[in-house]
Amino acid sequence: MITELVDITGDFPILKRQINGHRLVYLDSAATSQKPQSVIDRVVRYYETSNANVLRSVHTLAEESTVAMEEAREKIARFIHANSSREVIFTRGTTESLNTIARAWGDKFLEAGDEIVLSPMEHHSNLIPWQQLAKRVGAHLRFIDLNGDGTIAVDAVKKQINNRTRIVSLSAVSNVLGTINPIADVAKLAHEVGAVMVVDGAQSVPHQPTDVQKWDIDFLAFSGHKMLGPTGIGILWGREALLEAADPVIFGGEMIAYVDQDDATWAELPAKFEGGTPHIAGAIGLGAAVDYLSDIGMSRIEEHSRVLAEEAYRRLANLPGVVVYGPAYPRTSVVAFNIAGIHPHDVSQVLDAHGIAIRAGHHCAQPLMHWLDVGATARASFYLYNSDRDIDALVDAIEATKGYFKR
Ligand code: C6P
């Protein structure tokens, strides 16, 4: 290990698998992380012992189920330093969280001529909801100019923010460039003009300590499945006053206070935004994932993700014919690259033959592909169960890929 993190691969049953006769080298955690046994066991135990709908029935199982889900909410609130678990809304993931903010807050408070500031590195989930909001209300999108290496300078942000700005929405970590964006500085600029600061934390919350108070932001979206939790569960965090002021977007069971034939009033937070039966097992599983991450310590995980990404960048950038995107330093968790003359899908296929799982494509960031002037890239992404041994395997397999296509 090149970091102080001990080898925890034994906690992840899937990592025992052989793929095409090789040890599985899983370098696709930015798409979704693998799950430790403790998370898998927690979900199974829930279904085996306490399965019941939440917040409705008054029997023992329903009580246990509700308590377990609300305990998970409390853990997640502490994990991101929310003021209260009332600010923590369960969603399906980052995508649903961002769409909810755009609908719930954006539709209510934006008007024609207002502006939304984004960056060209945003994932489609942090772009299209704002495009659609802008179309609905007649607002305009503005984009921060990136530095040549894909980083964001605070001065470039200043140029796009003015007194018509109502929303600034930025990823904390890019899922392609691995850049770490200056969220606290941008939030300060947003607040100076009375705009709200939204953060796409899909790639940051799994890899670094998250403190919404220190960042001084207004909304945060992230996904459970990228941080060792189950798929289909994610979080929308918002400041209580903003969530109180916003309108619900999913109408139905459990999000109401009172209903008659013609109208309805809304439940208190967080229920107001959680219409319908939630993903109870997912929420409880995410709580177990937060326990696992917290036991290791997010600062150590941050260091580990940073060291692996920087080391992988350095080694790939030294390979002839390999182009690596984004800054050498500082970066975290993901390294996107291309091999001259070989399509990334072909790279991915040859790597798979060596047991190595990476992602290839536009990574749901087509505007960023245009900015990089490429159609697609290969991308290796690292997490707490990876080590320098996996970087060795990646480098060897890239050399083999080059040899294969030369033939
Ligand atoms: N990026 C990747 O391979 P969902 O799908 O809702 O859990 O997350 C969407 C999302 C939003 N923002 C960022 C920065 C992301 O990286 C992602 C998911 C995956 O890069 C799947 S496309």
Of 243, 283, 289, 228, the closest CA to residue 73 belongs to: 283
Mean pLDDT of the chain: 97
How many residues in the chain?
Answer: 407
Q: CATH says 40-295 is which class?
A: alpha beta
* DSSP letter string, 168-235: EEEESB-TTT--B--HHHHHHHHHHTT-EEEEE-TTTTTTS---HHHHT-SEEEEEGGGTTS-TT-EE
Q: Would you state the pLDDT for residue 1? A: 65
Residue 125 tokens, joined = 């989930």
Domain boundaries, the chain: 3-27+297-406, 40-295
- Return d(Cα 175, Cα 180) in angstroms, integer: 10
- Return d(Cα 135, Cα 286) in angstroms, integer: 35
Residues lining ligand 1, Cβ inside 6 A: 30-31, 93-95, 123, 125-126, 171, 175, 200, 202-203, 223, 359, 363-364
- Return d(Cα 96, Cα 220) in angstroms, integer: 12
Q: What is the pTM of this model?
A: 0.98
Q: Is the pLDDT of residue 365 over 90?
A: yes
Beta-carbon neighbour count of residue 276 at 10 Å? 10
Q: How far is the CA of 124 from the centre of ligand 1 (A)?
A: 8
* DSSP letter string, 80-107: TT-S-GGGEEEESSHHHHHHHHIIIIIH
Q: How far is the CA of 179 from the centre of ligand 1 (A)?
A: 15
Q: Would you state the pLDDT for residue 56? A: 83
Which is the catalytic residue, given 52, 364, 374, 395?
364
Q: Whose CA is nearest to atom 5 of ligand 1?
A: 95
| Residue carrying the six token digits 């909810």 | 100
Query: Which of 204, 223, 227 is the pocket-test mutation for ligand 1 (most atoms within 8 Å of CB)?
Result: 223
Q: Is the pLDDT of residue 407 over 80?
A: no
Q: Is the pLDDT of residue 131 over 90?
A: yes
Q: How far is the CA of 95 from the centre of ligand 1 (A)?
A: 8
28-39: per-residue pLDDT in tens?
A: 999 999 999 999
Q: How far is the CA of 36 from the centre of ligand 1 (A)?
A: 21
- Mean pLDDT value of segment 153-161: 98
Of 2, 77, 60, the closest CA to residue 286 belongs to: 77
- Mean pLDDT value of segment 280-297: 98
In terms of CATH architecture, what is 3-27+297-406?
Answer: Alpha-Beta Complex (3.90)
CA atoms within 13 A on the CB side of 34: 24
164: left (phi over 0), alpha (psi -120 to 50) or beta: alpha
Same fold, 3-27+297-406 and 40-295: no
| CA distances to 315, 375, 388 from 324, in Å | 10, 14, 18
184-238: per-residue pLDDT in tens?
A: 999 999 999 999 999 999 999 999 999 999 999 999 999 999 999 999 999 999 9
Residue 303 tokens, joined = 């260091």
293-342: per-residue pLDDT in tens?
A: 999 999 999 999 999 999 999 999 999 999 999 999 999 999 999 999 99
Residue 244 tokens, joined = 């109180």
Q: Whose CA is nearest to atom 3 of ligand 1?
A: 31
Residue 164 tokens, joined = 């018509």
Q: How far is the CA of 367 from the centre of ligand 1 (A)?
A: 15
Closest atom of ligand 1 to 334 CA is 20
Catalytic, 203? Answer: no
Q: Whose CA is nearest to atom 17 of ligand 1?
A: 202
